[in-house]
């Protein structure tokens, strides 16, 4: 017997087993907030969404773009689209209007759902149907009533979502993830981090990031309570943990830094830091310093789990969760061991090619890049996905050493250095430019521009930065600019960025932070 694996499995099970349990606690005080939604109610709303898309004339396989910070509607929409045969296009709301417009157009989305706070800024972003998620315009889309959407013949190899990722080109690529891919990632991820029906999860991780790394699916399957957090704030995270009894959260190293800073302020005021020996935090996006890991375990008393992966791998490739053999180790030594990317997740095979690039083979890998077959052929070779990251194996543990791609990961967000360079080349004072990632205590890495000025032209650092901020999402813009006489190049004219990065990374054992 072969039964198709689809993400609808997770919501159906939750509604049957945990129907009257709270599934989602929406952000309070927002326009159209849904408050508390049970798993039975979540299923009703997802089915209403599917039926409404039927009424709008959408066929199975049509795309629906979602541009929003974390919200209960976002979580419901992941099921309301994909579980009924359509394709979700979760979009980074931090991008500018031009970038979001490109994604909507390139994906061929017939519907675009937009958060009310973004409505004005994204006035130029449109599709056949443009719906604002304000509780009024989308009332029919998320109605809490029984509906009968058009039946979909379940196909685990059908594309469930297209997730756009910033790579080494100026335009993002659409990563096609199938139902089978997302199903296996969710189950494997949930298994490795121990998701159970007793968990209370805090959505600190953006839901657009590989569909929240697949956690909304894993949590739903097990009937865990999910608390929505719209904006990351260290003190607010601690408050929600205290108020809701949160046991699990995920995020980039910047989230960890925000929580540690807030915890320090609490202790200085003689206040208690919640969650000791109850909370586990899963971190990815960049390898955090071992000292940060040590502080999580000693100052917060939380369990630290590190994972490694990419949008193209849905994302789970490796997991570093301390085994019982490490329990008796000195905290500093245990943190050093936890700073590695981890061991292969169940079903993952890793290889390091002769040039040091990490290659991965798993059921979690992408089907391909949407309408970009040449890029797909470059990424998947001989049955392995080429990650573009450099590393080595320390026994069974993968260690990330460098990035072969010119991608900077700042606060968990991918920044294409080529995209930033393209923008800087538009400035009249810039003759040559190289953009690199340099260490940053809070964001892991931050963007630095090294420029050669045109003869007779000059520009202040603040002018260069402001020039970029007017044209790009702010998180992509340089935070520092340095004028240099020349940029190192090979005999063939290729820029040698490793030479530019070297002085900024002295004292670091790897060229990512």
Banded pLDDT at 168 (limits 50, 70, 90): very low
DSSP state of 349: E
Assess whether pLDDT exceeds 70 at residue 513.
no
Banded pLDDT at 205 (limits 50, 70, 90): very high
Chain segment 329-364, per-residue pLDDT in tens: 999 999 999 999 999 999 999 999 998 899 999 999
User: Could you give the CA distance from residue 478 to residue 476 in angstroms, rounded to a whole number?
Assistant: 7
Residue 491 confidence (pLDDT): 55
Chain segment 219-277, per-residue pLDDT in tens: 999 999 999 999 999 999 999 999 999 999 999 888 998 999 999 999 999 999 999 99
- Tally the C-alpha atoms within 13 A of residue 229's C-alpha that lie toward its C-beta: 26
Cβ neighbours of residue 398 under 8 Å, at least 6 residues apart? Answer: 308, 317, 318, 340, 341, 342, 343, 344, 350, 358, 391, 392
Assess whether pLDDT exceeds 90 at residue 175.
yes
Under a CB-based contact definition with an 8 Å cutoff, are residues 27 and 71 in contact?
yes
The helix (run of H) or strand (run of E) holding residue 512 is none
Assess whether pLDDT exceeds 80 at residue 501.
yes
Which residue carries 């050493």 as its tokens? Answer: 401
Residue 493 confidence (pLDDT): 62
Q: Does domain 344-403 have CATH number 3.20.20.70?
A: no
Assess whether pLDDT exceeds 60 at residue 492.
no
SS3 percent helix, strand, coil of the chain, rounded to 5, is: 30, 25, 40
Under a CB-based contact definition with an 8 Å cutoff, are residues 45 and 139 in contact?
no
Banded pLDDT at 171 (limits 50, 70, 90): confident
Tokens, residue 2: 């072969």
Residue 509 confidence (pLDDT): 65
Chain segment 30-78, per-residue pLDDT in tens: 888 999 999 999 999 999 999 999 999 999 999 999 999 999 999 999 9
From residue 501, how far is each of 42, 229, 431, 488 by CA, in Å?
Answer: 48, 36, 20, 11
Tokens, residue 480: 């520092």
Residue 216 confidence (pLDDT): 98
Peptide bond into 315 cis (omega under 30): yes
User: Could you give the CA distance from residue 199 to residue 250 in angstroms, rounded to a whole number?
Assistant: 13
Least confident of 68-72, 104-108, 185-189, 453-457: 453-457
Query: Any idea where the domains of the chain sit in the sequence?
Result: 1-17+36-180, 344-403, 408-505
The share of the chain scoring above pLDDT 90, in percent, equals 81
User: Could you give the CA distance from residue 224 to residue 454 in angstroms, rounded to a whole number?
Assistant: 58
C-alpha torsion sign, points 488, 492, 495, 497: negative
E-only strand ranges, 133-186: 159-165, 173-178
Averaging pLDDT over each range in 79-88, 246-255, 499-508, which range is the top one?
A: 79-88
Q: What is the dihedral of CA 256, 204, 437, 360, to 10 degrees?
A: 100
User: Could you give the CA distance from residue 176 to residue 256 in angstroms, rounded to a whole number?
Assistant: 30
CATH topology of domain 1-17+36-180: Rossmann fold (3.40.50)
Q: Which long-range contacts (CB under 8 A, 24 or more apart) does 149-154 make?
A: 149/47, 149/50, 149/51, 149/53, 149/54, 149/84, 150/50, 150/51, 150/54, 150/60, 150/84, 152/60, 152/84, 152/85, 153/85, 154/4, 154/6, 154/8, 154/179
User: Could you give the CA distance from residue 39 to residue 197 in angstroms, rounded to a whole number?
Assistant: 12
Under a CB-based contact definition with an 8 Å cutoff, are residues 325 and 282 in contact?
no
User: Could you give the CA distance from residue 426 to residue 319 in angstroms, rounded to a whole number?
Assistant: 42
User: Could you give the CA distance from residue 411 to residue 431 in angstroms, rounded to a whole number?
Assistant: 29
User: pTM score, two decimals?
Assistant: 0.89
Under a CB-based contact definition with an 8 Å cutoff, are residues 89 and 107 in contact?
yes
What's the mean per-residue pLDDT of the chain? 93
The better pLDDT of the pair 431, 204 is held by 204
Q: Does domain 408-505 have CATH number 3.30.300.30?
A: yes
Name the β-bridge partners of 381: 384
Residue 511 confidence (pLDDT): 66
Residue 494 confidence (pLDDT): 65
Under a CB-based contact definition with an 8 Å cutoff, are residues 434 and 497 in contact?
yes
Least confident of 9-18, 152-161, 413-422: 413-422
Banded pLDDT at 170 (limits 50, 70, 90): low
């Amino acid at each position: 017997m072969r039964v198709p694996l689809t993400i609808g499995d997770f919501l159906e099970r939750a509604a049957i087993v945990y129907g009257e349990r709270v599934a989602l606690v929406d952000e309070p005080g927002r326009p159209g907030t849904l408050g508390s939604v049970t798993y039975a109610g979540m299923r009703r709303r997802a089915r209403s969404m599917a039926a409404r898309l039927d009424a709008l004339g959408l066929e199975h396989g049509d795309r629906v773009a979602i541009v929003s910070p974390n919200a209960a509607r976002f979580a419901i929409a992941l099921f309301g689209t994909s579980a009924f045969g359509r394709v979700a296009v979760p979009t980074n709301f931090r991008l500018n209007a031009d970038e979001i417009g490109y994604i909507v157009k390139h994906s061929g989305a017939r519907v675009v759902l937009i958060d009310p706070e973004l409505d004005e800024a994204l006035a130029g972003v449109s599709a056949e149907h443009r719906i604002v998620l304000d509780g009024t315009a989308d009332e029919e889309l998320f109605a809490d009533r029984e509906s009968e959407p058009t039946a979909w013949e379940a196909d685990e190899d059908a594309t469930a979502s297209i997730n756009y990722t910033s790579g080494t080109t100026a335009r993002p690529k659409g990563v096609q993830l199938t139902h089978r891919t997302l199903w296996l990632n969710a189950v494997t991820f949930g298994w490795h981090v121990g998701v159970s029906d007793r968990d209370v999860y805090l959505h600190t991780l953006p839901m657009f990031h590989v569909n929240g790394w697949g956690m909304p699916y894993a949590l739903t399957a097990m009937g865990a309570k999910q608390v929505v957090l719209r904006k990351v704030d260290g003190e607010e995270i601690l408050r929600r943990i205290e108020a809701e009894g949160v046991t699990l959260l995920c995020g980039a190293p910047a989230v960890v830094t925000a929580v540690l800073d807030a915890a320090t302020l609490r202790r200085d005021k003689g206040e208690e830091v919640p969650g000791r020996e109850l909370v586990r935090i899963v971190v990815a996006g960049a390898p955090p310093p071992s000292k940060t890991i040590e502080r999580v375990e000693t100052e917060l008393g939380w369990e630290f789990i590190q994972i490694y992966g990419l949008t193209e791998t849905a994302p789970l490739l490796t997991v570093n969760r301390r085994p019982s053999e490490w329990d008796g180790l000195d905290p500093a030594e245990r943190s050093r061991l936890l700073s590695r990317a981890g061991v292969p997740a169940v079903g993952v095979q890793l290889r390091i090619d002769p040039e040091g690039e990490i290659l991965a083979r798993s059921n979690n890998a992408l089907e391909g890049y949407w309408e970009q077959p040449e890029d797909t052929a470059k990424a998947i070779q001989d049955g392995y996905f080429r990650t573009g990251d450099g590393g080595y194996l320390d026994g069974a543990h993968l260690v990330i050493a460098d990035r072969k791609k010119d991608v900077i990961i700042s606060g968990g967000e991918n920044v294409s250095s080529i995209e930033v360079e393209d923008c800087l080349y538009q400035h009249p004072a810039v003759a040559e430019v190289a953009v690199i990632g340099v260490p940053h205590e809070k964001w892991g890495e931050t963007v630095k521009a090294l420029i050669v000025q045109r003869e007779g032209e000059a520009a202040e650092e603040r002018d260069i930065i402001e020039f970029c901020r007017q044209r790009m999402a702010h998180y992509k813009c340089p935070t520092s600019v340095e004028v240099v006489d020349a940029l190192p190049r090979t005999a063939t004219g290729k820029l040698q960025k490793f030479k530019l990065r070297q002085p900024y990374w002295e004292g670091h054992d790897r060229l990512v932070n």
